[in-house]
């Protein structure tokens, strides 16, 4: 098994901040997105200076060679995919409108440790435009904010990644995060609470959930356990933040109550100012960045913030290429 490791973690912190920021407003998520971008750019620069980017390209070439030399049971064939054709209508896809991309053998990614990002695909040479990708994902995560999922339409440029990512996480009873990265920066993201629509979603450790993504142009349909939980259009601008409620002024002029109110109001004004500033920063990044990636490779990913154990097992995986 060949994995690709970046010693920078650029997405799970966003998941964590989204989960932890529910009560205090989304400003923590915005700050985290900025930190993620800085981390990715710094990592890419470091890799380039050390020659690791070239090594990554060599690893990619080796992965392609490995996939071509796999025994017959690891090779994507129409016979292996035939049972899956019946599943396509569940996702609004006609089995006659495309072809098999690959059927992937089971793999396990271990991203345990500090800010680890692992991805793998034995068929990394397969380029996808419109597609359906689906896998059963079992997580074994202890003491960590972490996630498992897919890289979508990636260009593989570790120095300045252009790609989409969809990550399932155990955080806050189960969330799915869709993020757009342009030149190594997170420019848009959408958080989806999986159990809001998928009552069968299991956030417990060692649980298995099926993650399916249908990509058509700039619209992505996210399914967990065959239930549509969200639609994402990365070309849409970031939404205005929902401001926290303003502190209520005391009905009387009691000095102690007024002192507490003034303190709360100052904190509130500071939070609102930060949120508005961060929103403007995100909006500017959105306006300047490319958010449309028409094609690229698809891979499985595992991410960990600092956990003692982060393992993602991928089974029953397949890719269907629409319109090819």
- 93: Cβ contacts below 8 Å, ≥ 6 apart: 132, 214, 320, 322
pLDDT attached to residue 139: 94
Domain ranges of the chain: 4-235+291-322
Q: Which two three-digit tokens encode residue 274?
A: 């930060």
User: Cα–Cα distances in Å, from 248 out to 2, 86, 206?
Assistant: 58, 58, 45
CA–CA separation, 157 and 163 (whole Å): 9
| Sole residue written with tokens 């989409």 | 164
pLDDT attached to residue 18: 47
Helices within the chain (DSSP H only): 12-20, 27-50, 52-69, 78-85, 255-288
Q: Which of 147, 143, 176 is nearest to 306 (CA)?
A: 143
User: Cα–Cα distances in Å, from 82 out to 85, 100, 103, 195, 228?
Assistant: 5, 9, 10, 30, 23
323, 99 contact by CB (below 8 A): no
SS3 assignment, position 179: strand
| Sole residue written with tokens 């809001």 | 196
- The three-state DSSP-derived secondary structure of 200-258 is CCCCCCCCEEEEEEEEECCEEEEEECCEEEEEECCCCCCCCCCCCCCCCCCCCCCHHHH
Q: Which of 153, 118, 117, 121 is nearest to 232 (CA)?
A: 153
pLDDT attached to residue 238: 81
Name the DSSP letter for residue 105. Answer: P
Q: Which of 162, 140, 145, 141 is nearest to 153 (CA)?
A: 162
Strands 4-6 and 175-182: unpaired
| Sole residue written with tokens 């993650």 | 211
192, 229 contact by CB (below 8 A): yes
Per-residue pLDDT of the chain (324 residues; tens, 9 = 90+): 334 333 333 444 444 444 444 334 443 344 434 433 443 343 343 343 344 444 444 444 444 444 444 444 444 456 667 778 888 999 999 999 999 999 999 999 998 777 777 889 999 889 999 999 999 999 998 765 788 999 999 988 877 889 999 999 888 888 898 989 888 777 888 889 999 999 999 999 999 999 999 999 999 999 999 999 999 999 998 877 788 889 999 988 888 999 999 999 999 999 899 888 878 887 888 888 889 999 999 999 988 876 668 899 999 999 999 998
CA–CA separation, 104 and 16 (whole Å): 30
**Longest C-alpha distance within the chain, in Å?**
81
Q: Which CATH class is domain 4-235+291-322?
A: mainly beta
285, 185 contact by CB (below 8 A): yes
Note the pTM of the prediction, 2 decimals. Answer: 0.76
Q: Which of 324, 319, 322 is nearest to 152 (CA)?
A: 319
Q: Which of 18, 84, 80 is nearest to 226 (CA)?
A: 84
- 87: Cβ contacts below 8 Å, ≥ 6 apart: 134
211, 166 contact by CB (below 8 A): yes
**Phi, psi (degrees; rounded to nearest 5) at 128:** -115, 140
pLDDT attached to residue 274: 87
């Amino acid at each position: 098994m060949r994995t690709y490791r970046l010693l920078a973690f650029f997405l799970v912190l966003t998941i964590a901040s989204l989960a932890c920021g529910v009560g205090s407003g989304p400003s923590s998520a915005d700050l985290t997105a900025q930190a993620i971008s800085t981390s990715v750019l710094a990592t890419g620069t470091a890799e380039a200076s050390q020659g690791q980017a070239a090594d990554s390209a060599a690893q990619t070439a080796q992965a392609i060679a490995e996939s071509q030399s796999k025994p017959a049971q690891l090779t994507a064939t129409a016979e292996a995919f035939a049972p899956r054709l019946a599943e396509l209508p569940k996702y609004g896809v006609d089995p006659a409108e495309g072809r098999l991309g690959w059927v992937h053998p089971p793999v396990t990614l271990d991203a345990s440790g500090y800010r680890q990002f692992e991805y793998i695909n034995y068929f990394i040479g397969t380029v996808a435009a419109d597609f359906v990708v689906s896998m059963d994902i079992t997580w074994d995560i202890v003491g960590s904010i972490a996630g498992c999922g897919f890289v979508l339409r990636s260009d593989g440029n570790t120095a300045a990644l252009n790609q989409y990512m969809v990550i399932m996480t155990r955080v806050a009873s189960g969330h799915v995060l869709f993020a757009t990265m342009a030149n190594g920066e997170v420019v848009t993201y959408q958080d989806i609470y999986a159990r809001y629509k998928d009552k069968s979603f299991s956030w417990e450790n060692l649980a298995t959930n099926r993650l399916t993504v249908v990509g058509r142009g700039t619209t992505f349909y996210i399914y967990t356990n065959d239930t549509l939980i969200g639609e994402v259009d990365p070309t849409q601008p970031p939404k205005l933040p929902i401001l926290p409620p303003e502190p209520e002024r005391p009905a009387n002029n009691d000095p102690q109550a007024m002192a507490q109110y003034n303190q709360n109001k100052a904190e509130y004004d500071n939070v609102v100012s930060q949120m508005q500033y961060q929103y403007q920063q995100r909006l500017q990044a959105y306006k300047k960045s490319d958010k449309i990636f028409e094609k690229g490779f698809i891979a499985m990913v595992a991410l960990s913030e600092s956990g003692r154990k982060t393992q993602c097992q991928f089974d029953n995986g397949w890719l269907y290429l629409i319109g090819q």
